A and B are shown apart, each in its own frame.
Chain A
Amino acid sequence: MAELDLFETRFAAAYRRYLDEAPTQVDAVEIARSVVSMARGRRLSWGTAFRSMPAPAWLVLLAILLTALGAALFAGSQRDTQLPAVVVPMPPAFACPPGSTPDQPGPADQARPQERPGYPPTMAFDRRAGKVVALVTLDRGVETWTIDACTNTWMQMHPRREPSGDEWSQLVYDVDSDVTIGVSSGRVWSYHLEANTWTLMRSVPPTGAWPRAYDPVSGLVVATVDPGDPDAPAELATYDVETDRWAPIHQENGPGWLWGMCAYDTSVDRLVEVTGGDLGWETWLLDIRTGRWSRSGAGTPRVEPNWVVPAIAYDEAAERTVVVGNAGMAAYDATADRWETIVEASSPGGFRALPLVYDPVNRRLVGFGWKGQGTGLNAFDLVTREWIVLSR
């Protein structure tokens, strides 16, 4: 730092004296004991609480949530008021067994998927199994892989039947039905990891339907639908894997067009859409229950300088929607309606992560090719701002 001027010296002295009021006197042994017991027992207690919650309790919780949302129907569509924080009941994530090494890279010599240039893998996080499911496009067909979030070990799954199709949508994990959904070449596929089985669904999705996010309140996958007309706004639809049915979402006051870069934000029960063009980027929020859009007043950082759609994921631990592009990474706090630039890329093209998923087991984001690491898999903890290499 440069030499302090007089004001800075006075300010620093006054500030340090103000900080002397901080609660610094504590019982370190007691803190350590409570932290260790909380850290060791937290997952178990949460998991136990959720597992033991009877079905009627879930219904009551859902009813309370829907009542609160119903009241919000009368609110204005502009994002000039604070959204109420809500509690969306998310099922517990898989807990790593003792002795796991989630922060250590997987075996250096392990078999891992070979990425086809220009065709990044598509993936989703199976929170019940604690594994990323990745579909890797090869010159001929696809391969199904998983990587264990507790050991960072890749495994090629070799299901009896791999799905087929040319260009794949992003995969979306349906936690209630415990299957991963993907669309390719106008067909819907679902993958059950425990059974290691891909199933071709009977329904025909709307033309241009692309799964984007899972809505845990309704239990439906949310998809954008390309209208085929570049001047027309994209449509939205839901998909219910249990009934294998598609249904349109009727929208009001929506943005002119959608990139399809959206994530479901559990902290406010909204679908967060980041879209834009040469004139600037915008952030919109969709109330899936009513179909009403509201536009954020927060300036949206342009993390992607090129005509490339950035990656997006919702970080449950930090309660932020994160977007990543060639120019860096930014996070959106929907409760406060505020964007924060997390990382600015030091050089163009040196920073990118496609695809990007949230790992609820280790409470961090996972992406391919992050920080110019080639096709390696890396993690970023938004709370501690730490990078971790998972697989080189």
Chain B
Amino acid sequence: MNAQAMGTPTVASTVALARAGDEAAFAQLVATYHADMARVAYGICGDPDLALDAVQAAWIIAWRKLRTVREPDRLRSWLVAVAANEARQVVRRRHPGRVVEILVDPPDEAAPDPSEGIRRVDLVNALGRLKPEDRALIALRYGAELDSAEIGPLLGISASGARVRLFRLLGRLRKELDDG
């Protein structure tokens, strides 16, 4: 089951059961939202193992804090925000300094991707140069596909602040990835 497949009434009842300690209901939430959280965490960590660590930590927090979720229809954005925060923490713990690892073209990636024009290696290098906070913003917008009105409160900034930060980030990425 994916996040779209679980309607709001179902989410509400599943959350209620999980809050009451129902492990099967909690497993259903994991099955529904884990992929979204993993994608966001991976976008921030850039490493599948670190992303899994972050998501596992996020699920522990979710289990502990599930009773504080008062709007089940916002459960998905809440969970991806918790995963994003954990991923940022994981990155900082592993890389307290700004260590940027520059990837080089593997043989099979030397040619530009005809469908997108942005090579994976360039994308990964550009993302690696961003701060974890900025990668979180990118992941929430393009990974979880949240809009600025949803992202702002999750990051403690206004919706317009989220838009401005995203605009600046895209400008920076455009220079790096689209300078041709």
Contacts and interface: CB of A to CB of B under 8 A. Distances in A.
A64 interface: no
A105 to B, nearest CB: 12
Interface in A21-78: 21-24, 26, 28-29, 31-36, 38-39, 42
A2 B149 CA distance: 12
Interface string A335-377: 1100011111010000000000000000000000000000000
A82 B94 CA distance: 13
Contact of B60 (A29, A39, A82, A388): A39
Interface string B11-34: 000000000000110111011001
A23 B52 contact: yes
Given A15-B123, A383-B82, A24 B35 contact: yes
Nearest to A6: B178
A31 B148 contact: no
A344 B162 CA distance: 13
B68 to A, nearest CB: 5
B96 to A, nearest CB: 5
Nearest to B163: A1
A343 B156 contact: yes
A29 B28 CA distance: 8
A31 B30 contact: yes
B42 A35 contact: no
B81 A22 contact: no
A16 interface: yes
Nearest to B118: A14
Given A31-B27, A31-B59, A19 B86 contact: no
A26 B68 contact: no
B97 A336 contact: yes
A229 B69 CA distance: 52
Given A31-B27, A36-B26, A23 B42 contact: yes
B39 A22 contact: yes
Contacts of A23: 38, 42, 48, 51-52
Interface in B88-110: 89, 92-93, 96-97
A201 interface: no
Contacts of B82: 383-384
B118 A11 contact: yes
Nearest to A103: B68
Given A17-B116, A29-B27, A381 B142 contact: no
A386 B82 CA distance: 10
B118 A8 contact: no
Contact of B143 (A11, A19, A341, A383): A19
Contacts of B51: 22-23
Interface in A296-346: 318, 329, 333, 335-336, 340-344, 346
Nearest to A39: B63
Contact of B27 (A1, A28, A38, A341): A28
Contact of B142 (A11, A342, A343): A11
Interface residues of A, number: 50
Contacts of B117: 10
Contact of A21 (B34, B48, B138): B48
B156 A342 contact: yes
A358 to B, nearest CB: 17
Pick from B30, B43, B89, B133 the residue with the most CB of A within 10 Å.
Answer: B30
A282 B177 CA distance: 37
Contact of B86 (A17, A342, A383): A383
A239 to B, nearest CB: 33
A13 interface: yes
Pick from A2, A8, A35, A36 the residue with the most CB of B within 10 Å.
Answer: A35
A22 B85 contact: no
Nearest to B34: A26
Contact of B96 (A17, A335, A383): A335
B96 A1 contact: no
A342 B155 CA distance: 7
Interface string B104-137: 0000000001011110100110000000010000
B173 interface: yes
A383 B57 CA distance: 11
B51 to A, nearest CB: 6
Which 10 A-B pairs give the minimum distances between C-beta atoms? A22-B42, A32-B27, A28-B31, A24-B35, A14-B118, A28-B30, A19-B39, A23-B48, A22-B39, A22-B38
Interface of B: 23-24, 26-28, 30-31, 34-35, 38-39, 41-43, 48, 51-52, 56, 59-61, 63-65, 67-68, 78, 81-82, 85-86, 89, 92-93, 96-97, 113, 115-118, 120, 123-124, 133, 138-139, 141-143, 147-148, 154-158, 161, 163, 166, 170, 173-174, 177-178
29 contacts: A2-B163, A7-B174, A8-B170, A10-B117, A11-B177, A14-B123, A19-B139, A21-B48, A22-B39, A22-B43, A22-B48, A23-B38, A23-B51, A24-B35, A24-B39, A26-B30, A28-B30, A35-B26, A36-B63, A82-B96, A103-B67, A318-B89, A342-B156, A343-B156, A383-B85, A383-B89, A384-B61, A384-B85, A386-B68
